[in-house]
Chain A
Amino acid sequence: MAFRLHWAGSGVFLATEVRVQLHEWLAIVTGTLTPGALIVFVAILAPELLPVTLVGALVYSMFLIGQRVLNEAAYVRIDHKLNELYHASPLSPEGYFVGIAGGMLVAYLPPSLVLLGILQILHPLDAVAGLTLIVCLLAVWAVSSTIGYVVSTLFKDMKTIWPYSALLTNLFGVVPPVFYRLGSVPVEWRSVVLLLPTSAAAVLVDSAAGLEPLTRTEATTAAVALAAEALVLFAFGIYWARRTARER
């Protein structure tokens, strides 16, 4: 079989996942708690940094959506064995992966839209900044969803998986300059954090929105790294979905 992608049924499966998540609306709301709390602290302690924090909250929320893929894919596979129901059906493995990842994106997007609305009020984005934001957020979603899906396939017990979600979210969403400025990072570490998808996305949006300038080299490094990571990882996600649809 050639490496031809089959998407039939993936839209329906995506809609199924959205429906599943919407029945748990409280989980959608509680997803905003961490960035929401940070926004409140910043609003009190350093209101001038609020736009940067809001951009960070958007990037963080998008990464968090990817980590929900980890939990959902693992739960569906380990607790419900529903992956077997779907893998032994015409729905392709790539359709299954994209269905879960897309379902989480659609279901958990509304809180991000609220954050975007607040950002637009406090610091309106022009078309270029808006487009940069959308592209960067999609790239973060692609990276995080793939990481989430791949990690979900590596374990046989939910309890083993839980810490990984928290670890990845903190490693990518809190430690690097997502909620704070690149300028606060020591110079010798800047080239490293520009390679991380979350901080790359945050600094690119900050730069496009005029919140923090980037040198041409920094902008190019961040953009190339983010684009490459998103494309390569998403392609790997599809490969991995196919590989793990059948155990060995």
Chain B
Amino acid sequence: MTDEPLQAEDVRKVYRGRIGPHVEALRGVSLSIRRGERLSLLGRNGAGKTTFLRIASTLLLPTSGRIHVFGFDVVDEPERVRPLIAVVPQEGKPFFHLTPREQVYCYLRARGIAREIARARTEEALEKMGLLEVADRLSVTLSGGQKQRAMVATVMATEAPLMFLDEPTIGLDPFARRAVWDVLRELTRKGSTVLLTTHYLDEAEALSERLYIVEEGRILFEGTAADAKRQIGGTLRVSIENGGPVRDLFRSFGQTVEEGTALSVITGPERIHEIMDIALRNRLSATVGPVTLEEAFLTIVGRSIDEE
């Protein structure tokens, strides 16, 4: 066993359809995760995030390439990998005819965790996920968000060294999402490592120390959220309402994004005065804010689509 939670080399996956064309879901993905790190995989639907997660968590065989989890090969040594990992599956739901308390406790016991420890961890997980009040209600009676929280509680209670979470906060309200973030931060402080996929870019930014952007089975970007923003040619965004007649003028200041009648210019702080000056002279409403990860994501993925 090594200290490196995950090391992937040139992982490829082709889904061979009986009818219709083969689908190349992963085209040589290589990445690594450091111990105690929170890492996000970002990408459009069908980009290959879930495929990668499922291969890394021993649920799917790759077509080629290698993934090692703490030094163990996920293809050849799954029985050595599995005690070290836990997975929140995408769209997973708890047993409807168990209560959240039973769900978490039974899962921990099935993993071989001793009764007393399982009991204590169950209570702790339910409390942190805000489920104590409904802990003894059958899951079938819970809201969608509560069911999702029960799934996250089940997995976080394992305190597994490496956790895979496939869209863990989907359907959660902002408070519940933040509760999950807090729990994940605490888990990594305790030494666990977290690999998650998400479509919430604010979540990826708030939670991840590093992120990978995946598109069409390839990694387009690796780095921090700040690195991603630097890729798009500016750190500030000027949003101009109804840029109409002077649109072309704004385009000379940097990359522009059009959303309806609004126009956003991505630029650096040195050019803000000029842009605002033009906006004011033309009686246009304009606001300045930092570039978001979403804009960086759209730009990086958009560039790739254009190149294709």
Contacts and interface: CB of A to CB of B under 8 A. Distances in A.
B112 A85 contact: no
10 contacts: A9-B112, A23-B98, A80-B92, A84-B59, A85-B87, A85-B155, A86-B107, A91-B111, A92-B79, A247-B61
Interface string A1-28: 1000010110011011001110110000
B111 A9 contact: yes
Assign chain A's interface to a size class. 20 to 34
B164 A88 contact: yes
Nearest to A87: B59
Given A81-B90, A89-B111, A248-B61, 20 more contacts: A9-B109, A9-B112, A12-B109, A13-B106, A13-B110, A16-B102, A16-B106, A20-B97, A81-B89, A84-B57, A85-B151, A86-B110, A88-B59, A88-B87, A89-B82, A89-B83, A89-B107, A89-B110, A90-B111, A247-B59
Contacts, number: 107
Given A1-B79, A80-B93, A246 B110 contact: no
A79 interface: yes
Interface of A: 1, 6, 8-9, 12-13, 15-16, 19-21, 23-24, 76, 79-82, 84-92, 99, 245-248
Contacts of A90: 82-83, 111-112
Of listed B93, B110, B154, residue having the most chain A CB within 10 A = B110
Q: Which of B89, B90, B138, B158 has the most CB of A within 10 A?
A: B89
A133 to B, nearest CB: 31
Most buried by B among A9, A12, A86, A99: A12
Contact of B110 (A16, A81, A84, A248): A16
A8 B154 CA distance: 19
Listed from nearest, the 9 A-B pairs whose CB atoms lie closest are: A23-B97, A84-B89, A81-B89, A81-B92, A88-B87, A16-B106, A90-B83, A12-B109, A9-B110
A246 B97 contact: no
Nearest to B80: A1
Interface in B51-79: 54, 57-61, 76-79
B110 A79 contact: no
Contact of B92 (A1, A12, A85): A85
